[in-house]
A and B are shown apart, each in its own frame.
Chain A
Amino acid sequence: MVPIAYYLILSAILFSIGVGAFLIKRNIITIFMSIELMLNAVNLSFVAFANYWNQINHQFSGQIFVFFVMVVAAAEAAVGLAIIIALFRARKTLNVDQVDLMKL
């Protein structure tokens, strides 16, 4: 039986990788992927916690949460990729450094 802490640490690492990639990467598709990584890291936490609480008080709403997060992530992907296509058509680039018409 793997202790819950292992799952949580893995989830935290994955989330941090997502945050790091979001801040460092310059391609919009890659940035979008890092957001998906963050969401799935959270899913891992939810499942781990749900398993933990299921043993204590048979309360595992965390698992239900995961399904909804997946649905929302899919909806976000649909909209996000559509926006990315609109951006590419208008600007012919997917590099965030060149998407800078508006600045402080």
Chain B
Amino acid sequence: MNGSMTVLRILPEIIFTITGVLIMLVDPVMPREANRKPLGWLAVFGALAALVASLYQYSLPDGTAYFGVVQTDAFSVFFHVLISGIILVSALVALDAVHPDTENLGELFALISFGAVGMLLMTSGVELLLVFIGLEISSISTYILAGFRRKTAKSPESAIKYFLLGSFATAFFLYGIALTYGATGTTRITDIATGLATTHDLPIAVVGLAFIIIGLAFKVSAAPFHLWTPDVYEGAPSPIVGLMSTAPKAAAFAVLLRIAYEAFPQLQSHWMPLLWIIAAISMTLGNLGALRQKNVKRMLAYSSIAHAGYLLVAFTVLSADGVAAASFYAVAYAVMNVGIFAVISHAGGYEDRLTLIEDYKGLAYRSPLLGGAMAFFLLSLIGIPFTGGFFGKFYVFASAIHAGMIWLAIIGLINSGIAVFYYLRVLTAAYTKPLDTSPVLNVPRASFPLLLALFLTVSVTLILGIAPDRILKGARNAAETFPILSSQQPPLNATPGAPSMAELSHKP
């Protein structure tokens, strides 16, 4: 492999790094009272370039780089595109929500870019060391972002909760890696499977896997490791919540998929029931918790726990269909969640003026555009046809039923029914005519970045709901990069799975 190819395999990461460093360099040399919004545009263009670079990576042949630490395959590129897209929209939303005199504006955008580097490395890393470092880069950036409104009472509290519980989870993840290394003698994900076949210490590997799953379940806020989620989301600035409820989770799900299907396929009988239980509890506790919330951000936090549960349903299916459904659901969930937080952060502003569901009364009358977008995203979260949420849920439950997991599918479908209630509460509030006595809801005019962000999210949600074929095909190609899945399903294994298999056997 020649040198330029090696660099291309981490091109999006490099672009995000340069963007972040550039912002950090320009920020201090700008005059103190200068408008720092151009730095936000820099972050937007960086994310756009990274998105283009990620799409370009589809044309690269599958393979590894940097001593086999980074791997570009259909799976990692799929998540690269998703995460770069989320960062692009989140940067636009943040640009809309902040004011020119918001504190530390340059650092806000730099941290978004640096966090993205970590998330991208998580998805393309095939060495647990790199995955761990990526996880930490993304986590540390989001800890700071959660506490960004540091003069308020709630924001530092949310940051400290996120930080303590996140580090706690990291320690578990790390201990899991140590035990896996002890049992198999390697920290390379692709070699762990071969190490497992010959190991004498299988119990140690099982404990290690359990710890890894615990650590990652914290990061994706799956029950029973979800308790930090509502508090963190409530205190963090809204544009950041849209980012941190989607991109780091998508990356953590990608890591979980890679570890489960590529490193521990032999232990399927061990991790499958575990994920089954986590999925069932997440869906149930998430939806029941959301029912009794009055604060919109807390409600969406519980809803994100429930969505993590739906996604985990697809994990337990053990087929290319399931992994494809999980990847597709990650896209659908990310797009609609970023979209609804774009609406919330514009209506509530960086200072979080609107918190309770009643505060949103009359939003649609004040601003038909925002109200309409909110309604659309809420319907997508419910799973109404013609939205991405519908096909996401459809594929997840179809693959579960296809694999004979009737009970999990039933639990999931009941939960989707429960979810309708709390989403509709927000929807009816937005479309209720406000009383004459109530204070006028003051919604600022939608700025260009917000319009762009809403256009992107709405159109992608619509595309997912009307013509999901292309993205589903991408998800399926992604799923078939795992050797175990492409060999299990011979008829589907026409071409896409083969290159990565060849690559595996050629590795030094």
Contact B186 A61 (CB under 8 A): yes
Q: Kindly state whether residue B367 has any CB partner on chain A within 8 Å.
A: no
Q: Kindly state whether residue B6 has any CB partner on chain A within 8 Å.
A: no
One of B143-151, B344-352, B426-434, B439-447 contacting the partner: B143-151
In the bound complex, residues from chain A placing their C-beta under 8 Å from that of B174 are 39, 42, 69
CA of A68 to CA of B147 in the docked complex: distance in angstroms? 26
How many Å from the CB of A28 to the closest CB on chain B?
A: 7
Contact A101 B182 (CB under 8 A): no
Contact A79 B140 (CB under 8 A): yes
Contact A79 B164 (CB under 8 A): no
Contact B187 A99 (CB under 8 A): no
**Which of B158, B178, B231 lies in contact with A42, CB distance below 8 A?**
B178
One of B23-31, B129-137, B256-264, B455-463 contacting the partner: B129-137
Contact A102 B157 (CB under 8 A): yes
Write the chain B residue with the least CB distance to A90: B156
In the bound complex, residues from chain A placing their C-beta under 8 Å from that of B136 are 72, 75-76
Contact B164 A42 (CB under 8 A): no
CA of A54 to CA of B155 in the docked complex: distance in angstroms? 47
Query: Would you call the interface of chain B mostly helix, strand, loop, or mixed?
Result: helix
Contact status of A84 and B129, CB under 8 A, knowing A75-B136, A79-B140:
no
How many Å from the CB of A78 to the closest CB on chain B?
A: 9
Q: For this complex, into which size category does the number of interface residues on chain B fall?
A: 35 or more
Contact A104 B230 (CB under 8 A): yes
Contact B160 A87 (CB under 8 A): yes
Contact B153 A35 (CB under 8 A): no
Q: Kindly state whether residue B100 has any CB partner on chain A within 8 Å.
A: no
In the bound complex, residues from chain B placing their C-beta under 8 Å from that of A42 are 171, 174-175, 178
**Which of A18, A52, A86 lies in contact with B156, CB distance below 8 A?**
A86
Contact A91 B167 (CB under 8 A): no
Q: Kindly state whether residue A64 has any CB partner on chain B within 8 Å.
A: yes
CA of A53 to CA of B187 in the docked complex: distance in angstroms? 12
In the bound complex, residues from chain A placing their C-beta under 8 Å from that of B160 are 28, 83-84, 87, 99
**Which of B153, B157, B178 lies in contact with A49, CB distance below 8 A?**
B178
How many Å from the CB of A101 to the closest CB on chain B?
A: 6
Q: Kindly state whether residue A1 has any CB partner on chain B within 8 Å.
A: no
CB-contacts of A33-76 with B (<8 A): 35, 38-39, 41-42, 45-46, 48-49, 52-53, 56-57, 59, 61-62, 64-65, 68-69, 72, 75-76
CA of A86 to CA of B179 in the docked complex: distance in angstroms? 36
Q: Kindly state whether residue B497 has any CB partner on chain A within 8 Å.
A: no
CA of A8 to CA of B178 in the docked complex: distance in angstroms? 10
Q: Kindly state whether residue B13 has any CB partner on chain A within 8 Å.
A: no
Contact status of A49 and B151, CB under 8 A, knowing A35-B168, A101-B157, A102-B230:
no
Contact B185 A68 (CB under 8 A): no
Contact B132 A91 (CB under 8 A): no
In the bound complex, residues from chain A placing their C-beta under 8 Å from that of B371 are none
Q: Kindly state whether residue B181 has any CB partner on chain A within 8 Å.
A: yes
Contact A45 B178 (CB under 8 A): yes
Contact B168 A22 (CB under 8 A): yes
How many Å from the CB of A56 to the closest CB on chain B?
A: 7
CA of A91 to CA of B182 in the docked complex: distance in angstroms? 44
Contact B179 A45 (CB under 8 A): yes
Contact B185 A101 (CB under 8 A): no
CA of A98 to CA of B438 in the docked complex: distance in angstroms? 34
Contact status of A62 and B168, CB under 8 A, knowing A45-B175, A83-B143:
no
CA of A76 to CA of B143 in the docked complex: distance in angstroms? 10
CB-contacts of A1-40 with B (<8 A): 8, 15, 18, 22, 28, 31-32, 35, 38-39
Contact status of A90 and B178, CB under 8 A, knowing A75-B140, A79-B140, A83-B147:
no
In the bound complex, residues from chain B placing their C-beta under 8 Å from that of A64 are 129
**Which of B132, B147, B167, B231 lies in contact with A102, CB distance below 8 A?**
B231
**Which of A28, A65, A90 lies in contact with B181, CB distance below 8 A?**
A65
How many Å from the CB of B131 to the closest CB on chain A?
A: 11
CB-contacts of B285-313 with A (<8 A): 289, 298
Write the chain A residue with the least CB distance to B162: A83
How many Å from the CB of B340 to the closest CB on chain A?
A: 20
B29-49 CB mask vs A (1 if < 8 Å, else 0) is: 000000000000000000000
Q: Kindly state whether residue B73 has any CB partner on chain A within 8 Å.
A: no
How many Å from the CB of A27 to the closest CB on chain B?
A: 12
CA of A94 to CA of B298 in the docked complex: distance in angstroms? 24
CA of A84 to CA of B150 in the docked complex: distance in angstroms? 11
Contact A90 B152 (CB under 8 A): yes
Contact B144 A79 (CB under 8 A): yes
Contact status of A91 and B140, CB under 8 A, knowing A59-B185, A61-B186:
no
Contact A18 B171 (CB under 8 A): yes
**Which of A38, A52, A61, A87 lies in contact with B171, CB distance below 8 A?**
A38
Most B CB atoms within 10 A — which of A57, A75, A87, A103? A87
CA of A101 to CA of B295 in the docked complex: distance in angstroms? 13
How many Å from the CB of B162 to the closest CB on chain A?
A: 9
List 11 interface pairs A-B (beta carbons < 8 Å), by A numbering. A22-B168, A32-B164, A45-B178, A46-B181, A57-B185, A87-B147, A87-B159, A89-B156, A90-B151, A91-B153, A101-B153
Apart from A35-B168, A76-B170, A99-B161: 8 A-B pairs, beta carbons within 8 A: A35-B164, A45-B179, A61-B129, A68-B133, A72-B133, A76-B136, A101-B157, A102-B230
Closest 6 CB pairs of A and B: A38-B171, A49-B182, A87-B156, A45-B178, A86-B150, A86-B156
